[in-house]
Every structure is written in structure tokens, then in C-alpha cells.
């Protein structure tokens, strides 16, 4: 019995971790490119026939939700099969997408009607609808699923929404044109990119207050969070700002590529993953050295407002 248990322990310790996959939302070629992050090889392409806009990954990593403003729909993609398995029609213009921690709900912003939609992605049913501010762009959910935050770009504020009864509990004033949002792992802080103000607002969610800010470069687009740092793509400067979250300041700058857009932290490979819209590339950067690790060609004009790394 001792040898059997030892053998089982050895298998548990040495079993390889499944490689994660980054999905590039290619607006120019109207398709998705799947890239294996362990090998940095393409792992497939999915033709959409419409321009993708925003994305969100189910917490289990098995589904990718992709919005299309022009297509007026949200697509449900099976990450393993690389297949579009469902189209959810939207009576409006969808942009931001976020998934709840139970993978039973998605939240979609409608910039045409200034709404947040709660949708069951399994049957395409719209469950609840909430009025937001003007031009709701990015949306994010706290890890426990209790709060939803929406960046109202044209009102320069963020809606804080109680997920249980689907009502707005606060409007938090930020700087000009908030677009994308990332929430810390403990659910206490939200980091909001203000694209016109070239600034990152830091919100304390329990107190519903802005508690800090960081000045950024030109045309900031997306924010991704590490443990002690945040990363913001700046398409106008062809750079990524690295932000010390404790000191609330830019600690260094990565000269990345042409028009960096969507960003994500790949904790498994200890890398920052980013799309280069101007170069049609996916690039990865070592989180310790902040140097370029690798890059690979994807489709035309890869962008992503939201999460994009699947299992």
C-alpha cells in the first residue's frame, strides 16, 4: 500500500498542467486566432463573418463569450473545440462582456441603448435589464459575484451594481472617458482606464470611492492585473505602462509593438500577453525582466476589450 500511495503522489506532483490558450479577436479579418501559450504556436482559427468587439472567459475556462457590435450579437465559443456553438441576438449594440463566477450568467453592455443585460448563455435568455450611464463600455464582476462595475464612457463615471437584486447602488465619478475595468483578486479594488484623460482611476469598492490615480501615456486602452503591478496598453505611445500598485505610480515602460491593445497576465507561464493591433501580432513579455519573450502572427488588427485566455 505504501508503494501504491507513493506512486499516486508522484503522479499528482508531476502531472503536466494543461496549456492555456490566448484567443485573438481579429477585427480586420473578422475571425479568432487561438495561440497555445506554452508552445507559442497557432492552435486554430475560427471564422466569425463579423467584427468581434469585446470578450469574456467563463471562470472554468471552457467558454469564450465574444460580442460583435456590427453583428448585434454575442457568440458563445467552445474553447476546446474552437467552435461557435451559439449566437445570442442583442436588440442593440453590445460591447463589454463579463462572466459571473458560477459560469451561469454573462453581463453585456449595450452602448446604443445605455443598458446592462444579464443573460443566461446556455439558452440565450435575457434575464434582467438595467439602465446605466451613457455609452457603457467595459464591465467587470467581483470574484465573489456580488458586485458588477460598468464604465460609462460618456458620463465619466462608473456604475456600481448589486448583482443579487440587479440595481445600481452608486455612481462613482472618475476621469474622462472610462473604458476598461479590472478588479483585484480580493474584490476590493477596481482599476479603471480613462482613455481621454490618460489616467488610471483606483476605486475602493467597499467605500465606493476613488482612492488614487496614475497618469498614463497616449490613448490608454486595456488594463491587466498581476499581484503587485498593473499593466496598461497605450496605443498612442506604442507602449505598455507597468504600474506599482503600492506606490501608485508608473515604475517602468515596455516599448512593446505597434498599437498594443488587449492585455492579460498568464500566471501559468509568468508572462504578460498582449495584442499588437498595428503589427497583427500576439506578444508575450517576461513578468520579471519585462523583456519580450516571443511573438506570433495572428489575424488582422487583433483587439480585445475583456479577458481572452482560455483553458
Give 111-120 pLDDT, tens digit per residue.
Answer: 999 999 999 9
Q: What is the pLDDT of residue 18?
A: 61
Q: What is the pLDDT of residue 44?
A: 95
Beta carbons of 105 and 119 less than 8 angstroms apart? yes
Residue numbers in the chain where pLDDT is lower than 50? 1-17
Q: What is the pLDDT of residue 216?
A: 97
Q: What is the pLDDT of residue 16?
A: 44
- The per-residue pLDDT for range 30-46, each reduced to its tens digit, is 999 999 999 999 999 99
Structural domains in the chain plus CATH codes: 19-310 (2.130.10.10)
- What is the secondary structure of 142-186 as a DSSP string? -TTSSEEEEEEGGGTEEEEEETTTTEEEEEEE-SS-EEEEEE-TT
Torsion sign, CA atoms 254, 40, 258, 194: negative
Amino acid at each position: 500500500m505504501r508503494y501504491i500511495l507513493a506512486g499516486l503522489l508522484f503522479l499528482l506532483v508531476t502531472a503536466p498542467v494543461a496549456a492555456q490558450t490566448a484567443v485573438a479577436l481579429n477585427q480586420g479579418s473578422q475571425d479568432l486566432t487561438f495561440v497555445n501559450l506554452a508552445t507559442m504556436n497557432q492552435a486554430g482559427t475560427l471564422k466569425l463573418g463579423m467584427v468581434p468587439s469585446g470578450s469574456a472567459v467563463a471562470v472554468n475556462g471552457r467558454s469564450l463569450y465574444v460580442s460583435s457590435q456590427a453583428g448585434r450579437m454575442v457568440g458563445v465559443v467552445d474553447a476546446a473545440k474552437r467552435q461557435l456553438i451559439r449566437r445570442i441576438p442583442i436588440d442593440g449594440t453590445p460591447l463589454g462582456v463579463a462572466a459571473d463566477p458560477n459560469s451561469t450568467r454573462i453581463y453585456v453592455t449595450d452602448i446604443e441603448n445605455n443598458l446592462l443585460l444579464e443573460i443566461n448563455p446556455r439558452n440565450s435568455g435575457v434575464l434582467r435589464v438595467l439602465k446605466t450611464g451613457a455609452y457603457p463600455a467595459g464591465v467587470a464582476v467581483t470574484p465573489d459575484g456580488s458586485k458588477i462595475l460598468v464604465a460609462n464612457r460618456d458620463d465619466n463615471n462608473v456604475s456600481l451594481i448589486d448583482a443579487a437584486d440587479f440595481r445600481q447602488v452608486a455612481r462613482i465619478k472618475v476621469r474622462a472617458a472610462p473604458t476598461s475595468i479590472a478588479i483585484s483578486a480580493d474584490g476590493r479594488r477596481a482599476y479603471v482606464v480613462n482613455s481621454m484623460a490618460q489616467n488610471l482611476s483606483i476605486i475602493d469598492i467597499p467605500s465606493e470611492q476613488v482612492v488614487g490615480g496614475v497618469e498614463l501615456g497616449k490613448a490608454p486602452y486595456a488594463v491587466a492585473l498581476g499581484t503587485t503591478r498593473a499593466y496598461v496598453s497605450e496605443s498612442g505611445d506604442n507602449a505598455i505602462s507597468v504600474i506599482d500598485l503600492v506606490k501608485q505610480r508608473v515604475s517602468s515602460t515596455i516599448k512593446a509593438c505597434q498599437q498594443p491593445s488587449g492585455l492579460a497576465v498568464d500566471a501559468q507561464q509568468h508572462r504578460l500577453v498582449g495584442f499588437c493591433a498595428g503589427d497583427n501580432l500576439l506578444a508575450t513579455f517576461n513578468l520579471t525582466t519585462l523583456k519580450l519573450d516571443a511573438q506570433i502572427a495572428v489575424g488582422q488588427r487583433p483587439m480585445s476589450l475583456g479577458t481572452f485566455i482560455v483553458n
